[in-house]
Amino acid sequence: MKYTLALLVVFAAAPLSVRSEDVPPVNAPAPAPAPAAPDAAPAAKAAVAVDKLVLTTGIKDRQPIDESATFSAGFPVYAWAKFSASATPATVKYVWSKDGKKSSEYPVELKSASTRWWASKKVSPGAWKVELVSDGGESLASASFTVTAADAAPAKAPAPATGDASPAAPVKP
């Protein structure tokens, strides 16, 4: 009991340190309550938009030469996209998936407000999808396609691509 009283005396005698901005004046009105937060904040507009996404067998003069959803195995498929960016630089990923499993991912950096990019991938038979994903993980666009075996039903014959397009690598126009 003696120790308890001694501690109380020490705490009661200890000076308090309070900053003046922490204590409102004695006659000050009570602060107004903070405005209620809205139920759902409006979604922020994406910094990048995909204006067009095309799957093609080749690129000529920075444009897709055709458009298809069925391709032959062993040849590259090109995913060509036209982007609009409200803020640059911005990063977008080309994510390639086969039969529901991620196969590869290629990031590209958009340096201007309106630009075209394409990526190519040598593909094997199966159900494929290429998805364009923002740096924040938001899906911007996607396209699904089928790759058939070389001796299967006729698919579009691949045309030679112009420019320095190597399979499985992003290529800038």
By C-alpha distance, which of 123, 119, 142 is closest to 132? 142
pLDDT at residue 118, as a whole number: 96
CA distances from 147 to 2, 14, 129, 151 (A): 87, 80, 11, 12
Measured in degrees and rounded to the nearest 5, phi and psi for residue 139 equal -75, 120
Model confidence at 163, pLDDT cuts 50, 70, 90, reads: very low
The fold adopted by the segment(s) 48-171 is: Immunoglobulin-like (2.60.40)
pLDDT at residue 81, as a whole number: 97
Neighbouring C-beta atoms of residue 58, cutoff 10 Å: 23
AA identity, residue 48: V
Of all residues in the chain, the percent with pLDDT exceeding 90 is 56
List, for residues 89-106, the tens digit of each pLDDT value: 999 999 999 999 999 999
d(CA 17, CA 49): 55
Q: Per-residue pLDDT for 9 more than 50?
A: no
Are 168 and 103 spatial neighbours (Cβ–Cβ below 8 Å)?
Answer: no
Q: Per-residue pLDDT for 167 more than 90?
A: no
List, for residues 145-157, the tens digit of each pLDDT value: 999 997 654 445 5
Are 75 and 155 spatial neighbours (Cβ–Cβ below 8 Å)?
Answer: no
Model confidence at 24, pLDDT cuts 50, 70, 90, reads: very low
Least confident residue range of 34-43, 90-99, 108-117, 141-150: 34-43
Terminal alpha carbon distance of the chain: 85
For strand 139-148 and strand 70-72, is the pairing parallel, antiparallel, or unpaired? parallel
